[in-house]
């Protein structure tokens, strides 16, 4: 990773357009990766591939990967964060910004399941539950957004 990417990652609030959206995605990917207790390069290769599908700008791709790594490290190595609190934080952000549900792509998340055929059943169940939870959050957020639009008064 080059200096510019590291700099952008550290100061993403200032220099990255829509940094909250990027941070939200990083939390989702971190939950999937950290649920597998092994900090494995396979997951980061998948993350890199998914990031390329989401973004065209190489710096945004690298910042997403680095931000995700930061969250995974906080969970697995530093232990200043755990998956439960990360999922609660994701839930809180979805409640505050229902449009973030549009940032969740279940197909991308399932790539992490496929890559881990060698993992234990507990990891598979945890990741499956995270995906199911996010599917429900997408439905809830869509209903919330549609209700807002339904009752919105036209501007005259």
Total tally of structural domains belonging to the chain = 1
Q: Count of CB atoms within 10 A of residue 19's CB? A: 17
Question: For 58-75, how does the pLDDT look when each residue is reduced to its tens digit (9 = 90+)?
Answer: 888 988 999 999 899 889
Nearest to 139 by CA among 105, 90, 101: 101
* pLDDT tens column, 19-42: 688 889 999 999 999 988 765 788
pLDDT score, position 150: 57
Tokens of 36: 């597998």
Range of the domain at 17: 3-151
Contact between 83 and 35 under an 8 Å Cβ cutoff? The reply is: yes
42 falls within a domain = yes
Instruction: Let me know if residue 140 belongs to a domain.
Output: yes
41 domain-assigned: yes
156 falls within a domain: no
Q: Which residues of the chain have pLDDT under 70?
A: 1-19, 38-39, 114-119, 145-156
């Amino acid at each position: 990773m080059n200096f510019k990417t590291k700099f952008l990652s550290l100061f993403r609030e200032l220099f990255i357009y829509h940094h909250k959206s990027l941070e939200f995605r990083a939390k989702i990917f971190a939950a999937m990766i950290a649920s597998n207790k092994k900090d494995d390069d396979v997951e980061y290769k998948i993350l890199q591939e998914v990031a390329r599908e989401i973004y065209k700008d190489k710096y945004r791709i690298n910042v997403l990967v680095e931000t995700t790594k930061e969250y995974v490290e906080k969970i697995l190595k530093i232990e200043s964060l755990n998956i439960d609190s990360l999922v609660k934080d994701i839930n809180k952000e979805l409640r505050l910004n229902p449009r973030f549900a549009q940032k969740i792509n279940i197909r991308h998340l399932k790539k992490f399941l496929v890559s881990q055929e060698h993992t234990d059943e507990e990891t598979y169940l945890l990741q499956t539950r995270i995906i199911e939870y996010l599917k429900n959050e997408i439905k809830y957020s869509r209903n919330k957004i549609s209700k807002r639009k339904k009752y919105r008064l036209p501007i005259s």
